Chains A and B, each alone.
Chain A
Amino acid sequence: MKRDASGRIHFKIVFWGASPSGKTTALKWVHENVEGYNKGGFTSVDDPNGLTLYFDYTTLTSESNVIFDLYTVAGQKRHKHQRNVVLKGTDGVIFVVDSSRNMMPDNKFSIEELRDNLGDRLVSNLPIVIMLNKRDAPDSITKKKLLSELGLDRYHTYETIATRGIGIKSAFTSLAREILAKNLQKIEDKQRKVL
Chain B
Amino acid sequence: MLNVKAFDEILSKIIKSESGIKKVILVDRTGLTIAHVSKFSYYPVDIDGIGAIASAVFCASEEQGKNLDIGELKIVTSEFDDGKIFAASCGKGVLCVITEADVNIGMVRLVIKKGSDKLQQILDEFLAEKPVAPTPTPETTKEMAEKEELEAALKELEKF
Interface of A is mostly: mixed
8 Å CB contact of A180 from B49, B52, B126, B153: B153
Contacting residues of chain B (41-67) with chain A, CB-CB under 8 angstroms? 46, 48-49, 52-53, 56, 59-60, 63-64, 67
The size of the chain B interface, using a CB distance under 8 A, is 47
A180 partner residues in chain B, CB cutoff 8 A: 150, 153-154, 157
User: 0/1 per residue, B118-157, Cβ < 8 Å to A?
Assistant: 0000000011000011111000100110111111111011
A-B pairs under 8 A by CB, number: 142
Contact A57 B4 (CB under 8 A): no
What are 13 A-B pairs at a CB distance below 8 A? Answer: A2-B127, A5-B8, A9-B149, A35-B159, A36-B156, A37-B157, A66-B150, A69-B32, A69-B48, A84-B63, A86-B56, A184-B147, A187-B146
User: 0/1 per residue, A75-118, Cβ < 8 Å to B?
Assistant: 00000011011101110000000000000000000000000000
User: 0/1 per residue, A170-195, Cβ < 8 Å to B?
Assistant: 00110011001101100110110110
Segment of B14-22, B23-31, B72-80, B105-113 engaged in the interface with chain A: B23-31
A173 partner residues in chain B, CB cutoff 8 A: 157, 160
Contact A89 B156 (CB under 8 A): no
**Alpha-carbon distance A82/B35, docked complex (angstroms):** 24
Q: Is B34 part of the binding interface, using a Cβ–Cβ cutoff of 8 Å?
A: yes
Q: Is B33 part of the binding interface, using a Cβ–Cβ cutoff of 8 Å?
A: yes
Interface residues of A (CB under 8 A from B): 2, 4-7, 9-10, 12, 34-37, 40-41, 43, 45, 54-55, 57-59, 62-66, 69, 71, 81-82, 84-86, 88-90, 169, 172-173, 176-177, 180-181, 183-184, 187-188, 190-191, 193-194
**Alpha-carbon distance A176/B56, docked complex (angstroms):** 23
A26 CB to closest chain B CB, in angstroms? 15
Contact A4 B143 (CB under 8 A): no
8 Å CB contact of B160 from A34, A57, A66, A82: A34
B47 CB to closest chain A CB, in angstroms? 9
Given contacts A40-B48, A43-B52, A85-B60, whether A194 and B136 have CB atoms under 8 Å apart is yes
8 Å CB contact of B4 from A7, A9, A45, A177: A7
